[in-house]
Homo-oligomer: A and B are copies of this chain.
Amino acid sequence: MIEVAVMGFGTVGSGVVDVVEKHADSIEKRANVRIGIKYILDLRDFPGSPYEKKFIKSFDTIINDPEIKIVVEVMGGIHPAFEYTKRCLSSGRSVVTSNKELVASKGAELLRLAKDNNTNFLFEASVGGGIPIIRPISQCLAANDVVEIAGILNGTTNFILTKMISEKKPFAETLALAQKLGYAERNPDADIKGYDACRKICILASLAYGRHVYPEQVHTEGIEHITLKDVEYASAWGGVIKLIGQVRKLENGKLQIIVCPMFLPCESQLANIDDVFNGILVRGDSAGDVVFYGRGAGKYPTASAVVADVIDCAKHLKTRKYLFWSDGDKDYVEDYKQNEVAMYIRAETDDDALAFKNIANCFGSVERLSRKDAEKGEIAFVTKPMKEKDIDDKIKALAGLGIKTVNEIRISDL
């Protein structure tokens, strides 16, 4: 019998307890040992819960009980999750978490602590919910150099963009619907501003390239400025708008990494990943493109990923998994203004014909886009690939000529 403590009885935590109880027999078969939940740490009361006797309010109960071998951290946030996790790892306990904020901020430190104490720190559930992705990258693709990772990593924004595309409802209305359906939180910033996707691409990048990338190093844009006009122009261009987290290694050893909405051609392997689903493309030098697709969030998908990690810990109590990456470096990420990218630009002008003459002078040949019901003076085009900083300069020059850029969206090369 291996005793587990669960810290946090929110959506994921209660799912973890349910899954462990419901699948107790098949988990025992797979882990070769019975796994039981001894404590649930939560400051709130849950009167009438079938797990009532397991609730505790003090972390000390866990740390002082030598029977506890595995701790599940599903509180969310960095404090006190970070301090608790450190103390658990330092005491030789394995820790499993779904907390992407914690892993994205403190992963290197916690992985080193796990290594120093010959124990495990696992976090399959932190990216992609129930989609297996951490283990496939670290194990199955171990014989590959990862050329690139790109993904739709946030279900809330994907739901909103899908509805905007398929039902032609504006952003504010679809956001309200997402909130009503429980897909978006009352304060939706972490999702719609791209912070959540940023944490996830940081975790994937750190894992794939062996060195920590911190969220503050990653240029991150959300979807709050996407309008139905942009959706229509994307369609005219032959694609859809998706919020993409993307990382690749440059020849200079630095990472090119970004989170932003992008135009994806309809043929792209990620273009058909709709609604709350996530999809992650991993391009290996040997395996080629591999795509993982499924529900990226939700109580039971996430809980089942946590419990799979608990089973893995139970099987490896005395051997360490080799999940590891080293500390980051402030020069590890290339300035995104150095990236080469083609750009969709929507602008306003008083004189279409003159504007496109000026645009051609400035950008060279561009692909002009049109849409039904375009407003007077509204123009849109897609540039050739060039450095972002050069695009900025050209946009500034156009502004001086009376062509006012209203929105810019990068064109994906996926």
A residues within 8 Å of B by Cβ?
15, 19-20, 23, 26-27, 29-32, 124, 129-132, 135-136, 139-145, 210, 269, 272, 284-295, 298, 300-301, 303-308, 310-312, 315-316, 319, 322
Contact = CB atoms under 8 A, between A and B. Distances in A.
26 contacts: A23-B145, A26-B145, A30-B142, A129-B287, A130-B288, A130-B290, A131-B287, A132-B132, A132-B136, A136-B136, A139-B312, A140-B308, A143-B310, A272-B272, A284-B304, A286-B300, A286-B307, A287-B300, A287-B301, A287-B305, A288-B301, A290-B292, A290-B294, A291-B292, A291-B294, A292-B293
Given A272-B272, A287-B130, A290-B132, A305 B140 contact: yes
B143 A23 contact: yes
B307 A143 contact: yes
Most buried by B among A29, A291, A312: A291
A4 to B, nearest CB: 13
Contacts of A289: 294-295
Contacts of A307: 142-143, 286
Contact of A295 (B139, B144, B288): B288
B301 A19 contact: no
Nearest to A131: B290
Most buried by B among A23, A124, A129, A136: A136
Contact of A288 (B269, B298, B322): B298
Contacts of A26: 145
Most buried by B among A136, A143, A310: A143
Contact of A290 (B23, B27, B29, B293): B293
A291 B269 CA distance: 12
A308 B142 contact: yes
Given A294-B288, A300-B286, A322 B141 contact: no
Nearest to A301: B287
Given A284-B304, A322-B32, A143 B311 contact: yes
Contacts of A20: 143
Contacts of A144: 23, 304
Contacts of A293: 269, 290-293
Contacts of A285: 300
A30 B294 CA distance: 28
A11 to B, nearest CB: 13
Contacts of A322: 30-32, 315
Nearest to A144: B304
A28 to B, nearest CB: 11
B135 A139 contact: yes
A376 to B, nearest CB: 39
A141 B23 contact: no
A19 B143 contact: yes
Contacts of A145: 23, 26
Nearest to A315: B322
